[in-house]
Structures are given as structure tokens and as C-alpha cells.
Chains A and B, each alone.
Chain A
């Protein structure tokens, strides 16, 4: 059976996959193309179609997730615009570095190793600090309230201490120099351009650990930036006719619901739990990317499927944990309100 010339089973598969991705995207502010592109490649779509359709899907999902985070007061537009400016400049310089490596024939090896090391390194760091509870272990979901000084990471405190005018006041009461924001944005862009990735997994932790904004604001602001990077990127690919709307439309229909749930969950789940889930996602992602790269080197295509299974397994595991944590939090709130009523 077909709908608009596309098999209904395929449309339903994409829609179901979309729900899963949307949930993670709304919760973490990353993970769209990271999950979609490898899945499309394994399904047999050409590389340009897989990359372009993944990017167009990320654009659509980030629009929905950003609007939802805006409703929750978790988007800092001023910070977002500054991040876009700094990131764009960084991406251009990163691309120059990549072209230089291509000229000397080392691009593939260096980028692969750097990508896995960075993904895994950030994953280990975030999981370790969240489990250790260095961030104070507090729950900070109020984007407008002042951030507790104990919840600000030490590196962010150091960066905030450089009071080079003009100073910017960000959501969560954070005060930081405009120049520090531009420098952090430049370096996240540099890595993003050098590795040829969207950079959500670099930007979101950078906003929290380096600038010091609360995690929900870091997620919302990161998504705001992805609206622009995803929109421009997918437009450039679409000029060559690489975006397949038959893939994007059902994925987006599914992810729109998932993104609402994911964004709502950031207001329920403990901030340290968000960090642990994010870290685990990155760690498993690093393993999957390493497996795929090894498969390419030793010419074993089956490892592509193994990598995809790890990615989808990680997505299922982490999204399941997010849903369970959210439900548990809702039930705890109810139990507490029942006790207060009884008192």
C-alpha cells in the first residue's frame, strides 16, 4: 500500500524512528544527524541524500524543539546570536585546517581519531563529573532564576572572572564578557568545521562548562543555533537536489511529538541525570563511530550494521531512561504534594 507514492510501511518506520530521535533531540539539543545519517546509509541511500536529508530533518526538528524550549523560557537569544557569529568564524578556520590536512593526505586518519577521542573524551568527562556530583548535585530547572554559585563549574567561574567590557547578562543571572563568549564560540566552531560535524555535542557542554549557563538554557540556546546552521546547510545541499522530502516528512512528523516530550522532560529530570545520560550517549556514539571507521579500514561492511545497532541501541536505552526518570519525578512530586496536604 502506498501513500503519495511512498510505501506506508516505510513512512511508518520513519515516523517511529522520528519519535525516538525527537525525544533525544528535544532533551539534549543534539543527536539528529548523528542518528539519522548512519541509518539512511545502512538502508542503502546514497551518501549525499543521507547527509542532506538528515540535515533537513535536523533543521525541521530544531525549529520545533526551539519553539518548545522558548515556551519554557530556556532560549537565550542574545547568547545564541553571539554563538552563531563566533561559531561561523571558527568553522571557516576549521575548514582551512581540514583542507590543509587533505593536501598532505592525513585528513581521514586525523579527523577519525580526533572525532572518536573528542566524542569519547567529552562523554567520559561529563559522566564522571555528574556521577561525582561536583556541580553541587542540585536541580536547576528555573532558567530565569539566579544560578547557585555552587552549580557553576570551576572553568566557567574562571572564564566569568575575566571582566573585559562589555559584560553580558545571560539567562540564569550569569554575567560574562562578550569577548569570552565569542572566544568559546570560535573554538567550538573551529572543532565543528575541522571535524565536519554539526557540533551540538561540542556546543551544549561548552555552554554549560565554559560559559556557565544552566543545562536547560544550554540545550535551548544550542537548538536555536542549530535552526540556522541546519537551515543553511540543508539549503546548500538541496540546491544539488540531494534532499529527499519522502524521508524528511515522515521523520519530522514523528520527531515533532518526541521533541515536545524531550523538551518537557528537561524541566522534570534532575540536571545531573541529564548530564549522565548525555555522557553515556556520547560514549556509545564514540564506540559506534570507531567500529564504523575500523570496518572501513579493514573493508568489513558488516561493521557498519554493528555500528548502527550500537547507535540505535544507545538511543533506545537513553530515551527509555529519560522517560522512566520523568515518570518517576512526576510520581515523586505527587507523593510530596500528598504528604504536604496531609500535614
Chain B
């Protein structure tokens, strides 16, 4: 994926782990926004209102 599957060595390792960290932070912010947007509606549905 993105041509970095075989990245190795300290620089390659830092690149891959850095990418995982960036993806995690983007997902945290993205899902957080989604939660704020849809959370109350979803909670109301689950509460049976």
C-alpha cells in the first residue's frame, strides 16, 4: 500500500510508525466529529425515543 510495504531500517520504521500514528489521530478527530454529528440521534434511537 502506497509503496511502503517493504520500508525498513530506522528511517523506514519511523515512516511506518509515524503513518500509523497520523492515521490514528486523523481517525480520532474524524470519528469524533461524526460522533458529535450523529451521536445524539443514534443515542435517541437506541434509547427507543
Contact = CB atoms under 8 A, between A and B. Distances in A.
A55 B23 CA distance: 15
Contact of A238 (B16, B24, B32, B35): B16
Q: Tell me the dominant secondary structure on chain B's binding face.
A: helix
B20 A248 contact: yes
B7 A252 contact: no
Interface in A206-261: 231, 234-236, 238-241, 243-246, 248-249, 252-253, 256-257, 260
Interface in B15-42: 16-17, 19-21, 23-25, 27-28, 30-32, 35
Contact of A241 (B6, B24, B43, B47): B6
Q: Tell me the dominant secondary structure on chain A's binding face.
A: helix
B27 A245 contact: no
Which interface class (under 10, 10 to 19, 20 to 34, 35 or more) fits B? 20 to 34
User: Which of B5, B25, B27, B49 is the most central at the interface, judged by chain A CB atoms within 10 Å of its CB?
Assistant: B27
A111 interface: no
Nearest to A231: B17
User: Which of A61, A239, A330 is the most central at the interface, judged by chain B CB atoms within 10 Å of its CB?
Assistant: A239
B23 A249 contact: yes
Interface in A280-300: none
A64 interface: yes
A170 B17 CA distance: 31
A238 B27 contact: no
B17 A241 contact: no
A235 B13 contact: yes
